[in-house]
Amino acid sequence: MRAPPIKLPEPLDRLLTALAKKRHSRRAMVLREALATLDKRSAAPTASELATDLVFEGPPDLSTNPKHMTGYGLQNRPAQEERSRPPGRKSLPKLFAESPLKGLELKCDRD
């Protein structure tokens, strides 16, 4: 087995010594375990590799070609009068009609 000389800053040297004492092991063994763990982490798949099954394979012009846009956007949105309000919610004109401010003139395009 090779024994490469390494230079460690004092804080890392103290940490290595403390870890070796804590594990009742030699400093070289702690370094080997740390390098093996680091190697395993780098072998883990990247986020893009994990997401490959989530990628949609579609036409290259999907976001720019108008023929792919049919059925999306404002043209499919229901008209203002068709949209229903949740129970108990009133439109502004109805609120003003029932309020003490009903004498004020209110112009509102939405219902």
User: Domain residue spans in the chain?
Assistant: 10-46
pLDDT at 15: 93
What are the pLDDT digits (tens) for 75-99? 666 666 655 667 777 777 777 677 7
Coil vs helix vs strand at 43? coil
pLDDT at 26: 93
pLDDT at 103: 63
Distance separating alpha carbons of residues 15 and 19, to the nearest angstrom: 6
Task: Extract the tokens encoding 62.
Answer: 């999907």
What are the pLDDT digits (tens) for 11-51? 999 999 999 999 999 999 999 999 888 877 777 777 877 88
pTM over 0.75? The answer is: no
Task: Extract the tokens encoding 48.
Answer: 């893009």
pLDDT at 25: 93
Encode burial over 57-74: b for 16+ CB neighbours within 10 A, e otherwise: eeeeeeeeeeeeeeeeee
pLDDT at 11: 93
pLDDT band at 104 (very low <50, low <70, confident <90, very high): low
pLDDT band at 111 (very low <50, low <70, confident <90, very high): low
pLDDT at 2 over 90: no
